[in-house]
Structure 1
Amino acid sequence: MDIVSALRAFLRVAETGSFSAAAVDLGLTQPAVSRQVSALEEHLSTRLLHRTTNALALTAEGEHMIPMALKVIEAVDALNEANCGEAATATGRVRLTLPAPLGLYVSDRLAELLGRHPGLSVEMLFREDPSDLVGEGIDLEVRLGPVSDSGLMCRRIGWTTAFLVAAPSYLEQRAAPKALDDIGDHECICYSRAGDGRLWTFSDGSDDVFVRIAPRLVANNAVAVHRAVLAGNGLAILSHILACPDIEAGRLINVMPEFPPARLPISVVYPSRRNLPLRVRTVLDFLVQVVREDPLMTSSLPS
């Protein structure tokens, strides 16, 4: 068994959630990918994936295996690139689009990447809706939620965490909701992103619960929603990236923490499955790294 190839296959299956999608990305057949993962499980004497007719899910052992597998693959790739000499230097511009909260999180950490690669430049575009990657010359795009465009390569890198929040000034005027059904009676600030933002989704620990709202304030940018909720305009669902500092400082209150907003996959999409330039792979690897450094984005399990 080629353990490096098997580890690559396992990681792609874990990231895409599908043997078929992993096979397309790796340029293999679906049975070949399945055999590689099965051989890895036999080699390790442990099950890494729960397989059902309609879905795949990582076992606890599979979750534990991912960071170790990544270290092996990264070490092998680093060795290969080192043998390529100057041709392996990451140079040129990478155009990257991503939602505003994650864009702020990434921009705080870009200095490290650019410091390691003096010839690399990154153009960041903050967008909430999907782009025409090929038409606009976008190298990488971070998307939240399911990715329906089968013509794009998709790599899942993490999960969102969000909070239902309100400012103390708002809750001084209106009693905080005690149940999900109470939310509809409140002023709600709607973040409309690629769909009907007027339907909020929460988790009760096992199932998703949908709440219909009738917002009087709608914005297609999460930063605008953040400012509006700080000003006391009502309830809003905010990314932990925006909400956590204000919750800790008392500027916002986490409302009904027992019913958190449902989590969404964070994925990076790109147009081509083969021969990604080193400049693009370097930024993609950086995105994976910085997202996995945040414990609130590293697991599909509720926090």
Structure 2
Amino acid sequence: MDLISSLLAFLRVAETGSFSVVASERGVTQPAVSRQVRALEEHVGMRLVQRSTTGVVLTEEGRNLLPAARNLVEAAESLSVSASPAQARPTGKVRLSLPAPLALHICGHARALLDSHPSLSLDMVVRDSTSNLIEDGLDLEVRLGPIDDSSLISRRVGMTSAFLVAAPSYLAGRPLPRSPQDLRNHECVVYSRWGKDDTWWFEASEGQFSVNVPCRLRANNASAVHQAVLGGNGIAILSHLMVADDLRTGRLVSLLPEFPPARLPLYIVYPSRRNLPLRTRVVIEFIAELLKADPAMRDRTAWPRPASGAPDAGRGQNAVGAALASVDAAGERR
């Protein structure tokens, strides 16, 4: 019996409550996973799981075994690094969850990571809401905003930067907003993630302030909001990663550049720092360096804006041009 492989199967069955789910994740048959768990039961001399009408549940012995099983798996994964750091190679799959804009950005640069580490693979879960890392079988997740879960390890890797945008077809025949308060007289497309999502926050020299916006169309996915705005359905706040090309080509127009949307901190979170597998550490460093290379995503970097005064089209476009130039510069350095 391969003890580590059986322990891994047992841990995932415990997390998912399903032999079939684990089999699908591993690309094997459901009986193969059952045999691995049964072999572990024979090895320890006790029943660890039992089937119920709602799935697979752990026995008391199975629950008691979980901490030791996790420790053994973590120790085994770090063994090669401890024994021979110079020869260690990241091997295996890293399963990570990311918001849609960042997932698209990373997909555009993943080739460099995968070419550098031929035995490494990525399984990306694209979602704009937070996950339960253990239940969803995730190694790490990129999150926006403060981290409230004290059980997770978090590493701050940058800040979001976004534009207030609309399509020319929507703006045609409508008065341009001259302050965030004017958005109350417009149709807004809301990107719903958490909390009161029809309250938009902006930055000014005096600090951050909020405006409640009307909404007739909302979506919990940034790509859907992006398409809705391109279709002329209203005004939205979207990541610079999604709209940079649209602003260059004129498919979208940046509004109120002197009142940029409030920035949010970006964190990478994962369940445990102890014996963190080399493959996971490599992916964490890759994401951190990728974001660091983008001036618009660095911590404490001001988003370009006009110096002062009332907004006008020319000065607004100058601010947009400066912002896009910073994005281009990041791409050239990569």
TM-score if structure 1 supplies the norm length? 0.71
Measured after TM superposition, the shift of residue 299 of structure 1 is 2.5
| Percent of matched pairs sharing the same residue | 50
Which stretch shows the higher mean deviation, 205-214 or 119-128? 205-214
Q: Structure 2: which amino acid aligns with 1:271? A: P
Partner residue, 2:197: 197
Aligned length: 223
| Consecutive unaligned residues in structure 1, runs of 5 or more | 1-79
Partner residue, 1:130: 130
Q: Is the 8 A contact 1:101 1:222 kept in 2?
A: yes
Structure 2 distance, partners of 1:297, 1:205, is 20
**What CA deviation, in whole Å up to 9, does each residue of 1:176-200 have, x standing for no partner?**
1011111011000000012221110
Which stretch shows the higher mean deviation, 199-208 or 156-165? 199-208
Q: 4+ runs of 1 displaced by more than 6 Å? A: none
Partner residue, 1:152: 152
1:98 aligns with 2:103: no
Measured after TM superposition, the shift of residue 82 of structure 1 is 11
Partner residue, 1:240: 240
Q: Structure 1: which amino acid aligns with 2:281? A: R
Measured after TM superposition, the shift of residue 301 of structure 1 is 3.0
Partner residue, 1:182: 182
Alignment partner of 1:211: what SS?
strand
Q: Structure 1: which amino acid aligns with 2:251? A: R
**What CA deviation, in whole Å up to 9, does each residue of 1:189-246 have, x standing for no partner?**
0000122211100001341110001200010000001011011111000100011111
Partner residue, 1:141: 141
Q: Structure 2: which amino acid aligns with 1:211? A: V
Alignment partner of 1:150: what SS?
coil
Q: How does 1:1-303 map to 2 (within 5 A)?
A: 84-86=85-87, 88-303=88-303
Structure 2 distance, partners of 1:300, 1:261, is 15
Structure 2 distance, partners of 1:161, 1:129, is 18
Structure 1 distance, partners of 2:146, 2:175, is 35
**Larger radius of gyration between Structure 1 and Structure 2:** 2
**What CA deviation, in whole Å up to 9, does each residue of 1:220-273 have, x standing for no partner?**
000001011011111000100011111111111100100000000010000002
Structure 1 distance, partners of 2:212, 2:293, is 34
Q: Is the 8 A contact 1:181 1:211 kept in 2?
A: yes
Structure 2 distance, partners of 1:190, 1:205, is 25
Q: Structure 1: which amino acid aligns with 2:169? A: S
Structure 1 distance, partners of 2:247, 2:273, is 41
**What CA deviation, in whole Å up to 9, does each residue of 1:89-123 have, x standing for no partner?**
10000001000000000010000000011110000
Q: Is the 8 A contact 1:130 1:194 kept in 2?
A: no
How much is the aligned-residue C-alpha RMSD, in angstroms?
A: 1.4
Q: Structure 2: which amino acid aligns with 1:302? A: A
Partner residue, 1:31: none
TM-score if structure 2 supplies the norm length? 0.65
Measured after TM superposition, the shift of residue 81 of structure 1 is 8.2
Q: Structure 2: which amino acid aligns with 1:294? A: D
Partner residue, 1:43: none
